Amino acid sequence: MAEKSFKYIILGGGVSAGYAAKEFANQGVKPGELAVISKEAVAPYERPALSKGYLFPEGAARLPGFHCCVGSGGEKLLPESYKQKGIELILSTEIVKADLAAKSLVSAAGDVFKYQTLIIATGSTVLRLTDFGVKGADSKNILYLREIDDADQLVEAIKAKKGGKAVVVGGGYIGLELSAALRINNFDVTMVFPEPWCMPRLFTADIAAFYETYYTNKGVKIIKGTVASGFTAQPNGEVKEVQLKDGRTLEADIVIVGVGAKPLTSLFKGQVEEDKGGIKTDAFFKTSVPDVYAVGDVATFPLKMYGDVRRVEHVDHSRKSAEQAVKAIKAAEGGAAVEEYDYLPFFYSRSFDLSWQFYGDNVGDSVLFGDSNPSNPKPRFGAYWVQGGKVVGAFMEGGSGDENKALAKVAKARPSAESLDELVKQGISFAAKI
Ligand code: FDA
Ligand code: NAD
């Protein structure tokens, strides 16, 4: 059992870790000062690829193609790049104990890692149907997607069950992206989710209606308003059928579950202040414990624009929060300070030939503009959210680079809107004028 000491430790090897390491390298670290500790066996990579390019039937994305920080057009940090930059990359190492008062971490193998400054970047883990006691949910080929090992299992199952039947449980990000990926791989796909429409945490009924019809036209079957209440397995343990709460039964060769994620904060329970399910931070991602920072999915941070504190489970924030924390750490060492984090929420998704972007806040009234006919070969439509007479959120499917920039500008500027009708009439040109 070894003991090692570092000036800085980044705990986690995901998107935030990759971007934090890049920022440390930009700011300058001496050899041996910084370690990245990850339970994954590979260097930090752009996680969004796992539900998209990684699952393509042809020309699939594979590492080292999508290591951080290619997702934002930055330098690709290959495993050897960490060494070249003097950063110790400690892979396949799960931290099972953290003592923030003693500034030490202990791995599953019993190794001890001491630090002066810690950045917690442990991200999220999936919610499992076994957590809710769903009968038969531990059958083989009931799969989840968070890390590259999960994606590899999924790729194997897709090969083994070629052209079979897939049931996708969940109507959120994973549900929509994975239904499309399985359909592209020629599976007979049925999506099941409890709400009246898909992606209810962002989409309005109108927006969801477009995606549901588009998916149906692509051959995806959609069952709403019910949940998977149990599974039966073949004698070899592989899933055979999905029982739905409404009494229906679906055959399945593969089941993909995407019923949400929870931030990985359990190592630090009782040692650090929490809020809204995450680790509470200030605008520099400092936690309540001196010299401990938290970034990415685990951080509950002040969203300055809205005078609110929030957790954000999206890649843009994981990158920017990581950069902010490292800038703040390095500035403080030189007796300086950086500006407060002033984040504009940005989410996106891609599936089939579709691609949407959203900026701002999805609160208040909403209106649709453009042509949301799902049968059009190149659908191009959007939505605005208006609260207190101001446009606070903007969404677009099929927007160009300039149009997406306009969405960001309008959501940041929050201009007054004369009326909802006027927004419908002006469409994207309203945002483009900002
Ligand atoms: P992230 O999950 O990336 O990394 C956490 C790391 O910590 C992992 O390497 C994990 O193994 C490690 N770890 C955890 N506990 C540990 C321990 N005890 N010891 C050692 N290591 C530990 N967002 C978006 O805006 N657009 C998109 O298209 C997508 N697409 C997408 C697809 C898929 C499949 C997923 C799962 C997620 C997305 N996201 C997304 C969300 C986005 O990827 C997510 O918000 C970021 O990855 C969060 O970055 P973090 O670094 O916080 O966690
Ligand atoms: P989600 O919160 O987006 O969606 C969860 C969905 O699960 C809900 O919409 C609901 O339909 C469904 N649900 C809840 N309980 C259910 C049940 N018992 N049976 C059936 N359905 C049920 O979460 P997710 O799709 O699992 O995504 C996991 C994480 O990965 C999130 O943090 C998400 O932000 C991230 N992610 C993001 C993207 C993106 O931003 N493009 C893509 C993939 C994953």
Pairing mode of beta strands 261-263, 124-126: antiparallel
**Is residue 175 within 6 Å of ligand 2 at its C-beta?**
yes
Residue 1's pLDDT band, with cuts at 50, 70 and 90, is: confident
Look at phi and psi of residue 318 and say left if phi exceeds 0, alpha if psi is from -120 to 50, else beta.
alpha
Residues 6+ apart with CB under 8 A from 290: none
Distances (CA, A) of 138 to 94, 134, 231, 261, 388: 23, 9, 9, 18, 48
Cα 285 from Cα 417, distance rounded (Å): 34
Helix (H) or strand (E) holding 5: strand 3-11
**Is residue 46 within 6 Å of ligand 1 at its C-beta?**
no
Angle, CA of 291, 16 and 277, to the nearest 5°: 70
Please give the structure tokens belonging to residue 302.
């002040």
Write down the pLDDT at residue 295. 99
Q: Which ligand is nearest to the CA of 35?
A: 1
Distances (CA, A) of 364 to 358, 361, 392: 15, 9, 8
pTM of the full predicted structure? 0.98
Tell me the average pLDDT across 201-209.
Answer: 98
Asked if 147 and 38 touch (Cβ cutoff 8 Å), the reply is no
Tell me the average pLDDT across 281-298.
Answer: 98
Cα Dmax for the chain: 68
Residues 6+ apart with CB under 8 A from 375: 213, 217
Mean pLDDT of the chain: 97
Q: What is the distance in A from the centroid of ligand 1 to the CA of 403?
A: 28
Mutate to test the pocket of ligand 2, among 54, 125, 130, 193 (most ligand atoms within 8 A of CB): 193
Residue 181 has pLDDT above 80, yes or no: yes
**Is residue 313 within 6 Å of ligand 1 at its C-beta?**
yes
Asked if 20 and 10 touch (Cβ cutoff 8 Å), the reply is yes
Q: Which ligand is nearest to the CA of 266?
A: 1
Write down the pLDDT at residue 387. 97
Q: What is the distance in A from the centroid of ligand 2 to the CA of 254?
A: 18
Q: Which ligand is nearest to the CA of 277?
A: 2
Helix (H) or strand (E) holding 256: strand 254-257
Cα 391 from Cα 311, distance rounded (Å): 22
Sole residue written with tokens 């004369």 = 418
Asked if 276 and 261 touch (Cβ cutoff 8 Å), the reply is no
Cα 10 from Cα 14, distance rounded (Å): 10
**Is residue 357 within 6 Å of ligand 1 at its C-beta?**
no
**Is residue 174 within 6 Å of ligand 2 at its C-beta?**
yes
Write down the pLDDT at residue 144. 98
Any idea how long the chain is? 434
Residue 389 has pLDDT above 80, yes or no: yes
Q: Is the ipTM of this complex over 0.90?
A: yes
What percent of the chain clears pLDDT 70, i.e. is strictly above it? 100
Residue 14 has pLDDT above 90, yes or no: yes
**Is residue 123 within 6 Å of ligand 1 at its C-beta?**
yes
In this structure, the number of other CB atoms found within 10 A of the CB of residue 159 comes to 10
Angle, CA of 380, 381 and 382, to the nearest 5°: 140
Closest CA to 181 of 168, 200, 198: 168
Pairing mode of beta strands 299-303, 95-99: unpaired
Please give the structure tokens belonging to residue 371.
């042509």
Burial of 402 (0-12, 13-18, 19+ CB in 10 A): exposed
Cα 93 from Cα 2, distance rounded (Å): 13
Q: What are phi and psi of 362, to 5 degrees?
A: -95, 70
Q: What is the pLDDT of residues 140-161, one digit of tens each?
A: 999 999 999 999 999 999 999 9
Tell me the average pLDDT across 412-433.
Answer: 96
Write down the pLDDT at residue 87. 98
Mutate to test the pocket of ligand 2, among 135, 259, 298 (most ligand atoms within 8 A of CB): 259
